[in-house]
Amino acid sequence: MTVTTDTNTRIADLRAAATEAAVTATATDRTRAGSAAPDLPFDVVPLSGNIGAELRGLDLRTLDDAQIAAIRSAWLHYKVVFFPGQDLTPSEHLAFARRFGEPTEGHPVIPGLADQPEVFEIDYSAARQLAAAYGKIGGISRGLHWHTDVTFVQRPPLGSILRAVVVPAAGGDTLFSNQEAALADLSPALQGFLGTLTAVHDGEDQFRAILDLVGEGHWEGKSFTRLESVEHPVVRTHPETGRRSLFVNPGFTTRIKELEIAESDALLAFLYQHSVSPEFTVRYHWQPGTVAFWDNRATQHAVTGDFGDAHRVIQRVTLRGDEPR
């Protein structure tokens, strides 16, 4: 190809425009983990460049208000924090959760523990038996089943607090992905477009079989026999930090309302892949008793399906959230 003076001028113009766009993006939304790490009165061990930290040397049963405030600021910054070396009972787990908000029902469809209904247990062996008997249900995927907790309701939980109860001898790690970093990594043009879109979220596919089995679900004090789909913005603004994040997940998002089905499928497939790119994630290896607390407004997570038939049990408390905006 002969490169003419006109072509050279055009290339120079394009380079200048690209540089300007990159500078603008850097100045606005292309920050990664976001604000500077807070100065905290306990040991903090960051686990990746973008998300996750261990907070060490704390006993979650005996925290004062200043420690709770410091944990909240670490949680907002790191998006998922882990507390190794804990040994909580379900009621101590619930008491710790109450320091950060109001616990929800254990799960909209799956009943919680008999004597502690706000505590939702997943015994992965029992889930497999249920799946064998009743077909596809949530939480049994052998592969990576990325999701954000309970986005198929109008007000999804603001955060989840998980206690590792039975940990397999090998495998069973959980991955978390930072959805603010995932959004910030996209071009300003795509970020702008995504900000105009609405996504439909639906729990029917995953939970219909269990809902039929248990008869009725419960959320925010109301009972229901079928799950209605809900709509949330594709990009949400965090009510505490003001930061924007991607808010679609392959667990529950079924389509983008404003687009044709083929367009919606293609865009969601791209976002699902992009939003869990390794650079936005952390992988956590559990020890029995470890507690994790994640910000459900800015993350997705997935359990690795690599523990064969080994026993794995977690208990989880979720905190009441607001309507994503």
Q: How near is the Cβ of 160 to ligand SIN at its closest, in Å?
A: 6
Beta carbon nearer to ligand SIN, 54 or 149: 149
CA atoms of 290 and 86, how far apart (whole Å): 6
Q: By C-beta, is 44 or 303 nearer to ligand SIN?
A: 303
User: Cα-flanking dihedrals φ and ψ of residue 128, to 5°?
Assistant: -65, -40
Residue nearest to ligand SIN (CB): 174
Name the minimum Å distance from CB 162 to ligand SIN. 6
Active site residue 147: yes
Q: Which of 93, 147, 218, 244 is catalytic?
A: 147
The residue (of 86 and 264) whose beta carbon lies closer to ligand SIN is: 86
State how far the Cα of 273 lies from the Cα of 276, in Å rounded to an integer: 6
List Cβ neighbours of 17 (8 Å cut-off, separation of 6 or more). Answer: none
Residue of 107, 236, 255, 301 with catalytic role: 301
Which tokens in the block code for residue 269? 């497939």
CB of 6 to ligand SIN, least distance (A): 57
Q: Are 248 and 199 in contact (CB under 8 A)?
A: yes
Q: Is 13 a catalytic residue?
A: no
Known catalytic residue at 285: no
| Residue 301 falls in the annotated catalytic set | yes
Question: In whole angstroms, how close is the CB of 303 to ligand SIN at the nearest point?
Answer: 4
Q: Which residues would be at the binding site for ligand SIN (CB under 6 A)?
A: 122, 149, 160, 162, 174, 301, 303, 314, 316
- What does the DSSP assignment read for 202-247? --HHHHHHHHHHHS-EEETTEEESSPPPEEEESEEE-TTT--EEE-
24 vs 158: CA distance, rounded Å: 31
Which is catalytic among the residues 149, 244, 255, 297?
149
Is residue 203 within 8 Å of 227, Cβ to Cβ?
A: yes
Of 24 and 125, the one with the shorter C-beta distance to ligand SIN is 125
- Taking every pair of Cα atoms in the chain, the longest distance, rounded to a whole number of angstroms, is 79
Residues taking part in catalysis: 147, 149, 301, 316
